[in-house]
Amino acid sequence: MAVEVTRDVSGDISAPIPSARESGANHAERSAKLRLGVLTAYGAGSMVQDTANFGLNNLLLFYLTIVCGMSGAAAGIALGIALVVDAFIDPLVGSLSDNSRSRHGRRHPWMLASAIPIVVAFAMLFSVPVGLSGFVLFAYALTALMAVRIGMSGFTVPFIALGAELSDDYAERSTIVASRVLFSVVAGAVGAFLAFGVFLKGVGGLTHRAAYSPFGWSCGVLILIAAAVSTFGTMSARGRLHAAPPTKGPAFGRFLAEIAEVFRNPSFRTLFFACLILFISLGVATALGLHANTYFWKLPSKVILVITLAYFVGILVGVFAASSVGGLLEKRQIALIGISLLGLCQLVPASLLILGLIPLGAGPLTLIVASAISGVGASSALIGFQSMMADAADEHEHLFEARREGLYFAGISLSAKASSGVGALIAGLVLDLIGFPHGLVAAGAAPHAVPAEAVRNLGLIYGPGASIITAISIIILLRYRRGREDHAKVRAALDQRREA
């Protein structure tokens, strides 16, 4: 006999929970500890997004403006338009994935089908034909970038949603996120080595146009292997996943209703906007990073490689640091500490040089230390955010009796893409605003081609300017109030509902 449901959509998790249909009745299997092989295979999937993101976030703006000759505004607009498309594609893929039915589950078919389109489009993006200019160059870059973005949506949104379904355990969810972060370190380190240690190394290596295409295809091979390992390696765990709910009404109307439903959860709203603002900040700093390292700090490729690797070492340290304090601190506290470290590392190094408190020669050591600390902050923030989002998905089921992992993690995916969308759009517009020249194919050999005032302003924006945006993210996240005890109440209520 059905029991009348009483829900408090303001987020009151102490409200009574009646019995209701459970869209995935395999809670017992999700409660069992996840096998190491499945956990490892799942984590490898993060290399798909993070290998691509290394090129998009660290190299693309420099490649398009300095090497290919596109204006900063045009490059930024292309990246911004791609994000606008993503703003629709990510939640659409999330909804389609949530409602998909197949003998392989609702996540794996999407992951497998998206791999090859990502590889081809990414390689073409870094293989701009010589001679393209003006609108034709803009159209080529935009088309390739949109193809990469759509392909990444098809893989990343179901992939991250899959992680939220593998376990119902509060602590193990952080372990699942940590596995993603560990492989993100591998992806970033390999991408940095391929870029600064192999294809773009040496004097003038960053402006060697012919080297970008083999870099793109090499990353594509890595993406394809990671996608295959993650997809096939987690097939054995698909029995843990929730089943797609019965569909009612027209698909488009249902899609809009699901988005509206997700935003009715205050926990989701807080996490989404805090994450979005943080990634925009990181996007501004990262997109301008290669310009700053080359012209503001005057660093060669080999030093840039060391600084980049220090960041990934910091991420690795941050994974274990966040795990060790996970039993002592709430996830929100871990995320806030991580974001604060990121903001300080954006603010301090550039400010010290601009104020004359350190000489230019101290730049490499300062940046290595700051980069390592940034890595610790980034992994702490990421583990906190993604684990809180998985908990918020449980809260959503508690409030609305529906599983929406796909839509929830579409929010995380869209926020991450904002780093190379909105962040890069701002960065590109800023380059033109401060009068930074484009088309400097001999960038390493002609530092005098950039006005000193433009170089100083570049340092102000990529450092202190980005840290101001980061501070806004901290302010938003302070509104998130859920913790371990709250999640325990939600899980107990959901378990009671399933037993009924």
Task: Assess contact for 482 and 267: CB atoms under 8 A.
Answer: yes
| The residue type at 482 | R
Confidence of residue 27 (pLDDT cuts 50, 70, 90): low
455 close to 295: Cβ distance less than 8 angstroms: yes
Q: What does R_g of the chain's alpha carbons equal in angstroms?
A: 23
Of the chain, the end-to-end C-alpha distance in Å amounts to: 10
Alpha helices for 288-362 (secondary structure H):
289-291, 301-324, 331-354
pLDDT of 239 > 70? The answer is: no
Place of tokens 């301090």: 348
Average pLDDT over residues 438-459: 70
pLDDT tens for residues 68-124?
989 888 988 888 888 778 777 877 887 777 666 666 667 888 888 899 999 999 999
Residue 60, class by beta-carbon neighbours within 10 Å (0-12 exposed, 13-18 middle, 19+ buried)? buried
pLDDT tens, 191-218? 999 999 999 987 778 888 999 999 999 9
**What DSSP character marks residue 445?**
G
Return the number of other C-beta atoms located less than 10 Å from residue 82's C-beta.
27
Distance of alpha carbon 222 from alpha carbon 48, whole angstroms: 8
Q: CB–CB of 424/279 below 8 Å? A: no
List of domains in the chain = 42-234+247-499 (1.20.1250.20)
Looking at residues 234-262, what average pLDDT do you find?
Answer: 69
Closest CA to 170 of 484, 493, 477, 444: 484
CA angle 121, 124, 128 (to 5 degrees): 145
- Dist CA 367 CA 285 (whole Å): 13
The two structure tokens encoding residue 107: 């996540």
Please report how the helices 301-324 and 331-354 are oriented relative to each other, as an axis angle in degrees rounded to 10: 150
Residue pair 164/271 in contact (Cβ under 8 Å)? The answer is: no
The pLDDT confidence band at residue 410, using thresholds 50, 70 and 90, is: confident
Rounded to whole angstroms, the Cα distance separating 251 from 209 reads 46
Q: Could you report the per-residue pLDDT of 117-162, keeping only the tens digit for each?
A: 999 999 999 999 998 988 999 999 999 999 998 998 889 888 887 8
Check pLDDT > 60 for residue 9.
Answer: no
Confidence of residue 5 (pLDDT cuts 50, 70, 90): very low
> Residue 20: which pLDDT band, with cuts at 50, 70 and 90?
very low
Find the range with the poorest average confidence among 57-71, 100-114, 300-314.
100-114
Structural contact between residues 163 and 390, judged by C-beta atoms closer than 8 angstroms: yes
Cα 352 from Cα 214, distance rounded (Å): 38
Is the pLDDT at 63 greater than 90? The verdict is yes
Provide the mean pLDDT of the chain: 82
pTM of this prediction exceeds 0.75: no
Cα 2 to the chain's mean position, in Å? 42
